[in-house]
Amino acid sequence: MMLGILCLVLAYIAGSFPSGLVIGKTLYHTDPREYGSHNTGATNAYRVFGAAGGLLVLICDVAKGMLGVYLGQVASQMGLGSADTQIYFMIAGGLLAIIGHSCSIFLKFKGGKGVATGLGIILFLAPWETLIVFCVWAVIVALTRIVSLGSIVAAILVPITMYFFNEPLPLTIFGLLAALLVVVRHKDNIIRLLHGKELKVERIKKK
């Protein structure tokens, strides 16, 4: 049982890993929080480091979500649950990863919006829905160059697609909670969108 609890703690710690900051300082000797949106996520990493840096941060953040779900699955197998309750522990592991990403223990309980980490979670739990949501996100970003808009719309679509694919109720509820979390984390972006002041995804010049 203690190993199961440890797995859930590790899910939070894995989510807390500040991918953008570590990659920025290690490979580019730059703190992404000093530029653009002052965020450590993949979008701002693209603005500051370019396509390669942004993609690397994206992959790491998606992997954190997938790892969180996997650790939840392992926790269930370590005496905390059963075959009937395993989905709940997988969801719990994913939620802990998102919480870690948004409130990182390594960043004084600050962090990113949780979109890429959430993508990793639904990729693990609901791959077909992930494909649909990602395609919608990609079209919106391609047309508007505004990642936050694509992320908000994609997040809202997650529980809707889960419902139409007849996913288990706990998973659909998780999708709804994750969508609400993403929208709340984007409240400042929503205000800027309404005022036409939201940043577009484009490279910036560092001083």
Banded pLDDT at 206 (limits 50, 70, 90): low
pLDDT of 39 reads 87
On whether residue 205 sits in a domain, the answer given is no
On whether residue 174 sits in a domain, the answer given is yes
State which residues form the domain around 46.
2-194
82 has a pLDDT exceeding 90: no
Banded pLDDT at 205 (limits 50, 70, 90): low
On whether residue 200 sits in a domain, the answer given is no
On whether residue 202 sits in a domain, the answer given is no
81 has a pLDDT exceeding 90: no
Banded pLDDT at 207 (limits 50, 70, 90): low
Do 68 and 121 form a contact (C-beta atoms < 8 A)? Answer: yes
pLDDT of 101 reads 93
Secondary structure, 3-state, the chain: CHHHHHHHHHHHHHHHCCHHHHHHHHHCCCCHHHCCCCCCCHHHHHHHHCHHHHHHHHHHHHHHHHHHHHHHHHHHHHHHCCCCCHHHHHHHHHHHHHHHHHCEHHHCCECCCCHHHHHHHHHHHCHHHHHHHHHHHHHHHHHHCCHHHHHHHHHHHHHHHHHHCCCCHHHHHHHHHHHHHHHHHCHHHHHHHHCCCCCCCCCCCCC
51-74: average pLDDT: 96
pLDDT of 178 reads 87
Banded pLDDT at 12 (limits 50, 70, 90): very high
38 has a pLDDT exceeding 90: no
Percent with pLDDT over 70 in the chain: 99
On whether residue 204 sits in a domain, the answer given is no
114 has a pLDDT exceeding 60: yes
Q: What is the pLDDT of residues 167-201, one digit of tens each?
A: 999 999 999 988 998 899 899 999 999 999 888 88
On whether residue 56 sits in a domain, the answer given is yes
Q: What is the pLDDT of residues 122-169, one digit of tens each?
A: 999 999 999 999 999 999 999 999 999 999 999 999 999 999 999 999
On whether residue 201 sits in a domain, the answer given is no
On whether residue 29 sits in a domain, the answer given is yes
64 has a pLDDT exceeding 70: yes
Instruction: Name the domain count of the chain.
Output: 1
104-116: average pLDDT: 90
